[in-house]
């Protein structure tokens, strides 16, 4: 897709020039700006107030050294990041990713997406993201703890319950959040809701662990319902086998579907009987092993090396829940050929722009990450509310609120898409609905000269 207006094309060219060698960030910005052309035409006040120019520039970017000592006594150095992208509607909010592929451009793309996602939840949260190129794989608990403590020693200077509230993402789960929370508390002598995704015994919210995966299925359910359809008796393919993938699989089963394939970064498993989710949980959540080991106790299953071919497995519902750009044009064409009805992004930007075009052209129900995976951060927002209240809600109460939020995200995306002429285009709808709330808040708050 290319720009129709000189104004947006110029802005995009400036982003590319001012943020060189950050292809993921360019990709995320381009997708949003393409959807903004009709918005700019309808709302000249945004152009006049420089909203588009301002929204693509992070308010603050923090890059820092994280040094720590490994089990052999050797000094290790990693790089830490926190992008405080936009605080127009609330404190910066977004996860921390620990993965060797992390760099400034990756964190900027994630922080940018988070602005619109958080706005869509209807909760008062700005957009932020952070992380490190640290690889938790193969590290001992002690090494992970020392890394997390060193990371938080710097990060603590920049965050706070009313300033910036990080959470988990790839490579950051309950263990890492615990170590970071402990260090924050030691440094600040303060027990506050400065992180979300905390353990249930020290301020965490019920359902936060399940929220992104469950929310992704609730969103898919809403899309399917517009065509009188549901999860019942569908075959589902889910990439990844981490936090998001596991709970997307759990909810898919609860809704009457069968999950036939899952993956990790090495390869994918296919089980014609339906993936045994307890076995995957044991392997991944408890033993931290590779998905290949599933075959040991499941001889009917098959394993293929390389994760990308998972999209060759026939399914009616596809949920990419691993990482960015994991589903390309060829994969999208194969899914369409095999009769896919709905694709919802549990991960952030897992489909390439060419893949998204294929889905839209073929009238596949396509839920973009900003909308479909917003259940995680929405439940983080609910964790913040509970921390402020010094109270905790039951599993059922939080799950009901999550369902309602996902329903509302679906209807506001659909409404915005309808207003702008393409009811089934959730990419357009989510970007516009997410943008308008932030843009109006920025407009009302003026510009500091
Ligand atoms: P986890 O670390 O729990 O799991 C990540 C999964 O994706 C693992 O199976 C991992 O395999 C796989 N994976 C990671 N990197 C790659 C890669 N480069 N190629 C192929 N597979 C890869 O992370 P989450 O489940 O939390 O996150 C998954 C996605 O969901 C991310 O895009 C994240 O940004 C997004 N997300 C997460 C939310 C949350 O609440 N956690 C909320 C909203 C979105 P391996 O074990 O081999 O590395
Ligand atoms: O991408 C995301 O929305 C997350 N990783 C969750 C962020 C959060 O603050 O819960």
Q: Is the pLDDT of residue 365 over 80?
A: yes
As a whole number of angstroms, the distance between CA 67 and CA 149 comes to 10
Pocket of ligand 2 contains residue 169 by CB under 6 Å = yes
The two domains 60-191 and 211-367 share their CATH topology (first three levels equal): yes
Q: Is the pLDDT of residue 55 over 80?
A: yes
> Measured in angstroms, how far is the CA atom of residue 301 from the centroid of ligand 2?
33
Pocket of ligand 2 contains residue 105 by CB under 6 Å = no
Helices (H), 192-291: 208-225, 243-254, 277-281
**Distances from the Cα of 303 to the Cαs of 272, 346, 358, in angstroms?**
12, 23, 28
- Average pLDDT of the residues of the chain: 98
Q: Do 131 and 107 form a contact (C-beta atoms < 8 A)?
A: yes
Confidence of residue 449 (pLDDT cuts 50, 70, 90): confident
> Measured in angstroms, how far is the CA atom of residue 128 from the centroid of ligand 2?
9
Confidence of residue 269 (pLDDT cuts 50, 70, 90): very high
Pocket of ligand 2 contains residue 196 by CB under 6 Å = yes
Residue 40 has what pLDDT?
98
Nearest CA to ligand 1 atom 27: 170
Q: Is the pLDDT of residue 1 over 90?
A: no
> Measured in angstroms, how far is the CA atom of residue 132 from the centroid of ligand 1?
14
Rg of the chain over all Cα atoms, to the nearest angstrom: 21
For range 346-351, the mean pLDDT: 98
pLDDT digits (tens, 9 = 90+) for 187-237: 999 999 999 999 999 999 999 999 999 999 999 999 999 999 999 999 999
- Catalytic: 284? no
Share of the chain above pLDDT 70, in %: 100
Confidence of residue 325 (pLDDT cuts 50, 70, 90): very high
Which atom from ligand 1 is nearest to the alpha carbon of 173? 3
As a whole number of angstroms, the distance between CA 148 and CA 159 comes to 15
For range 239-262, the mean pLDDT: 98
- Kindly report the three-state secondary structure assignment for every residue of 79-93: EEEEEEEECCCCCEE
Q: Under CATH, to which class is 211-367 assigned?
A: alpha beta
Left (φ > 0), alpha (ψ -120 to 50) or beta: where does 327 sit?
beta
Secondary structure E strands in 52-134: 60-69, 75-86, 92-98, 126-132
For range 250-257, the mean pLDDT: 98
Q: Is the pLDDT of residue 258 over 80?
A: yes
From 128, 137, 243, 292, give the residue whose CB has the most ligand 1 atoms within 8 Å, as the site to mutate. 243
Break the chain into its structural domains and give their ranges: 3-55, 60-191, 211-367
From 123, 212, 242, 244, give the residue whose CB has the most ligand 2 atoms within 8 Å, as the site to mutate. 212
As a whole number of angstroms, the distance between CA 139 and CA 159 comes to 26
Neighbours of 148 (CB within 10 A): 28
Confidence of residue 112 (pLDDT cuts 50, 70, 90): very high
Residue 149 has what pLDDT?
98
Residue 60 has what pLDDT?
98
What would the CATH number be for the domain defined by 60-191? 3.40.50.10860
Share of the chain above pLDDT 90, in %: 99
pLDDT digits (tens, 9 = 90+) for 166-193: 999 999 999 999 999 999 999 999 999 9
Q: Is the pLDDT of residue 272 over 80?
A: yes
Residue 448 has what pLDDT?
78
Q: Is the pLDDT of residue 140 over 80?
A: yes
Pocket of ligand 1 contains residue 107 by CB under 6 Å = no
């Amino acid at each position: 897709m290319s720009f129709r207006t000189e104004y947006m094309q110029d802005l995009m060219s400036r982003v590319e020039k001012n943020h060189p060698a950050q292809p993921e960030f360019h990709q995320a910005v381009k997708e949003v700006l393409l959807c903004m052309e009709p918005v700019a035409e309808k709302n000249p006040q945004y152009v006049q107030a420089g909203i588009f120019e301002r929204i693509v520039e992070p308010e603050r970017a923090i890059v820092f050294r994280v040094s720590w000592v490994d089990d052999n006594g050797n000094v290790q150095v990693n790089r830490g990041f926190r992008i405080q992208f936009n605080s127009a509607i609330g404190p910066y909010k977004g996860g921390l990713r620990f993965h060797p592929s992390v760099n400034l451009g990756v964190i900027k793309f994630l922080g940018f997406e988070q602005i619109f996602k958080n706005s869509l939840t209807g909760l008062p949260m700005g957009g932020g993201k952070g992380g490190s190129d640290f690889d938790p794989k193969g590290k001992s608990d002690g090494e992970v703890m020392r890394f997390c403590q060193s990371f938080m020693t710097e990060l603590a200077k920049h965050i706070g319950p009313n300033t910036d509230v990080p959470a988990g993402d790839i490579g950051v789960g309950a263990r890492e959040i615990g170590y970071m929370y402990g260090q924050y508390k030691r440094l600040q002598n303060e027990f506050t809701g400065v992180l979300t995704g905390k353990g249930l015994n020290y301020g965490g919210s019920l359902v936060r662990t399940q929220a992104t995966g469950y929310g992704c299925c609730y969103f898919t359910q809403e899309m399917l319902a517009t065509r009188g359809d549901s999860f019942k008796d569908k075959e589902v393919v889910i990439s990844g086998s981490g936090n998001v993938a596991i709970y997307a699989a759990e909810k898919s089963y609860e809704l009457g579907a069968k999950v036939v394939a899952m993956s990790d970064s090495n390869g994918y498993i296919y089980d014609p009987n339906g993936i045994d989710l307890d076995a995957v949980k044991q392997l991944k959540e408890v033993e931290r092993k590779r998905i290949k080991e599933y075959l040991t106790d499941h001889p009917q299953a098959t394993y293929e090396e390389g994760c990308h071919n998972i999209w060759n497995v026939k399914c009616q519902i596809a949920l990419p829940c691993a990482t960015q750009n994991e589903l390309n044009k060829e994969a999208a064409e194969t899914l369409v050929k095999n009769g896919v009805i709905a694709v919802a992004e549990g991960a952030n930007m897992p489909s390439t722009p060419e893949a998204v075009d294929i889905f839209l052209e073929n009238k596949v129900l396509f839920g973009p990450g900003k909308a479909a995976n917003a259940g995680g951060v929405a439940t983080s927002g609910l964790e913040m509310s509970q921390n402020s209240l010094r109270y905790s809600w039951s599993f059922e109460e939080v799950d009901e609120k999550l369902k309602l939020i996902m329903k509302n995200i679906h209807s506001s995306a659909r409404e915005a898409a309808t207003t702008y002429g393409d009811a089934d285009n959730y990419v357009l709808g989510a970007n516009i609905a997410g943008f308008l709330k932030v843009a109006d808040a920025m407009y009302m708050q003026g510009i500091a000269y």
